[in-house]
Amino acid sequence: MFVVPNYPVAVVLCFITMLCWGSWANTQKLAGARWRFELFYWDYVLGVMLMALVFALTLGSMGTEGRSFLADLQQADARWIGSALVGGAVFNLANILLVAAIAIAGMSVAFPVGIGLALVLGVLVNYFKPGADRANAVWLFVGVALVLVAIILDAIAYRRLPQQKQAGMKGIVLSVICGVLMGFFYRFVADAIAPWQKDAQSGALVLEAGKLSPYTAVVFFSLGILLSNFVINTAIMLRPFVGDPVPLGAYFQGSALDHLWGIVGGMIWQVGMTLSILAGDKATFAISYGLGQGATMVAAFWGVFIWREFREAPAGTGRLLALMFAGYIVGLALIIAARVMG
């Protein structure tokens, strides 16, 4: 299987993750004018599962290092398979709340508040995990604190929008709940991944037996998303956050383009997830997750400059948004430096 060779490569993968996680929701925006997010989400989940299998059967099955995907399946312990499945279910609930928040409040709010909060919690959870490889705490947590300031600035800017006088706080509330859940899913997946250890006879580095390779863990994580979606998304279709209930049969009335946008969105997100998990070996899972969740800045860029979600904001809002971007950029730079200074 392909293994990340060093920290600089891991950082590059984390930046690709950031771009993927911050951009996939554009597909929902493109389909949203005629296609409810509950329907979009079925195809999104299929895209996530499909891309996980593509990675597992290609990068996860070539080369001599580690175990191939099929060999890893044969030795996997049910406990760690279950951990990855639970991570998928927790993520799915968080992510469907995020998609709902995007539909209500827009990308420039849902991402910075929801995923920004997930960044803070996710870094803390993965940093203090027993046995975790530690980075420099001061640099890491100062970086996280700056990201938190950026989240607050974005929320303030959001409240200045005229339409929020009618929309209330629903978008922010959904984003906050999403962020809390999103901060914990990654640890379930990281716990299931086998660390490298020395073989007693040859002295070569091998994956710990029973646990999963990164590729296998991502496949079961994605399966957890798919299986839980039959419960979570069906319930939301019957009792949606906004609008009327969605008939279950409406999914089959969409055009090929409607379905394609969802599948592409899921595949884009999965590219980011897989690269983030792979980068965790050299960057630590705390840093890998934290950098990937810099997606909040990417999504805010899309929302502010492409979708023009703040075009009706009063004077002075631009300064708040500029400070938000600055907080994210400096915070992410400190998170990167934390591994080098650790």
pLDDT digit string (tens) for 218-230?
A: 999 999 999 999 9
Whole-number average pLDDT of the chain: 89
Residue with tokens 């938000």: 324
* pLDDT value, residue 46: 98
DSSP single-letter state for residue 312? T
3-state secondary structure of 241: coil
Residues 64-91 have a mean pLDDT of 96
Grade residue 202 by pLDDT with cuts at 50, 70 and 90.
confident
- Comparing C-alpha atoms, which of 227, 213, 271 is closest to residue 15? 271
Residue with tokens 């690709």: 16
Query: Tens digit of pLDDT for each residue in 249-271?
Result: 999 999 999 999 999 999 999 99
CA distance 67 to 64: 8
CA dihedral (191, 196, 200, 201) in degrees, to 10, reads 140
Grade residue 108 by pLDDT with cuts at 50, 70 and 90.
low
CA distance 89 to 92: 5
* pLDDT value, residue 185: 94
CA distances from 205 to 41, 61, 201 (A): 40, 17, 11
- Comparing C-alpha atoms, which of 26, 13, 92, 16 is closest to residue 264? 26
CA distance 298 to 279: 19
Amino acid identity of 265?
Answer: G
Residue 213 near residue 60 (C-beta atoms within 8 A): yes
- Comparing C-alpha atoms, which of 49, 50, 72, 48 is closest to residue 60? 72
Residue with tokens 């999104």: 44
Give the residue with greater pLDDT, 102 vs 250. 250
Q: Is the dihedral of CA 204, 205, 210, 213 positive or negative?
A: negative
CA distance 341 to 292: 20
CA distances from 318 to 106, 161, 243, 265, 323 (A): 17, 12, 31, 29, 9
**Cβ neighbours of residue 84 under 8 Å, at least 6 residues apart?**
188, 189, 192, 212, 217, 218, 220, 221, 224
* pLDDT value, residue 342: 62
Query: Tens digit of pLDDT for each residue in 21-70?
Result: 989 989 988 887 678 889 999 999 999 999 999 999 999 999 889 999 99
Which range, of 78-92, 111-125, 163-177, 313-327, averages the lowest pLDDT?
163-177
Residue 165 confidence (pLDDT) above 80: no
Residue 168 confidence (pLDDT) above 60: no
* pLDDT value, residue 40: 92
**pTM (predicted TM-score):** 0.89
